[in-house]
Structure 1
Amino acid sequence: MSVRPISPHAKALRRNSTDTENLLWQELRDRRLGGLKFRRQATVGPYVADFLCAEKRLIVELDGGQHSAETDAHRTAELERLGYRVIRFWNNELTENRDAVVERILAEASALPSRFRAGQPSSNSD
């Protein structure tokens, strides 16, 4: 299962992004982080990932008070079974130390192989 077109649920999540999601999006959008293309509220299998770098198959999730460890663990396991690397941050980690979160995302992405050949840009249909 791969990235699918945006679901109506994902569109609603994008329109109603949290302040913390918007804060991280400012760091990830427009290839600002290491030249990597990230999408927000991307549909991956049956899930909607907060942020996805399809080239690296990297999913970044921001967790707030509404998340449960059991549900998140199941979701992470399923996404990893589909071939994605999932990293999670609590909202307060981002608000209290944004630079460290961004550095960790870049380090994780740098450690992953690219799905695309050198010079081949990623498309929106990944």
Structure 2
Amino acid sequence: MIPKNGQMLDRAKELRKNMTPQERKLWYDFLRSYPIKIYKQRIIESFIVDFYCHAAKLVIEVDGSHHYDSDGMAYDQERTFVLQKYGLQVIRFSNSDISRNFSGVCQRIHEVIQSRLGHE
């Protein structure tokens, strides 16, 4: 079982209500109706991940510009390391990926989920 920090519940609820435009697009136009359950703004250990597919043990992150400075990259690297300890795979997309190549992002997510479920 993957632990979660219960003190982060209010923050996770706030993030669910205030998704970025790119997170909102990915959620409402693809992930919400995906045939395998995907959760938004899920707490895993002491982190809140953008999207989580428990069945595939997959974390999907949508990264804004702050993820690409040195502090953001170091934080993301540490976070990914912790998540991987639980057997989770983390895939990341930039806001630009969502805006400019939405169908490619959706295809990639589908491929990774199917692969992780053994449905290649």
Query: Identity over aligned residues, as a percent?
Result: 32
From 75, 89, 94, the equivalent of 2:98 is: 94
Distance 1:41 1:91 in 2: 16
User: What are the within-5 Å matches in structure 2 for residues 21-32 of structure 1?
Assistant: 21-26=23-28, 27-29=30-32, 32=33
Unaligned runs of 5+ in 2: none
More helix by share: 2
Q: Tell me the matched-pair count.
A: 111
**TM-score normalized with structure 2 length:** 0.86
Greater CA drift, 2-11 or 49-58: 2-11
1:76 counterpart = 2:80: yes
1:16 counterpart = 2:26: no
**TM-score normalized with structure 1 length:** 0.82
Q: Give the drift of 1:3.
A: 5.7
Which runs of structure 1 show a deviation greater than 6 angstroms over 4 or more consecutive aligned residues?
none
Distance 1:38 1:49 in 2: 12
Unaligned runs of 5+ in 1: 115-126
1:38 counterpart = 2:38: yes
Structure with more relative contact order (C-alpha pairs < 8 Å, separation 6 or more):
1
Q: Give the drift of 1:90.
A: 0.5
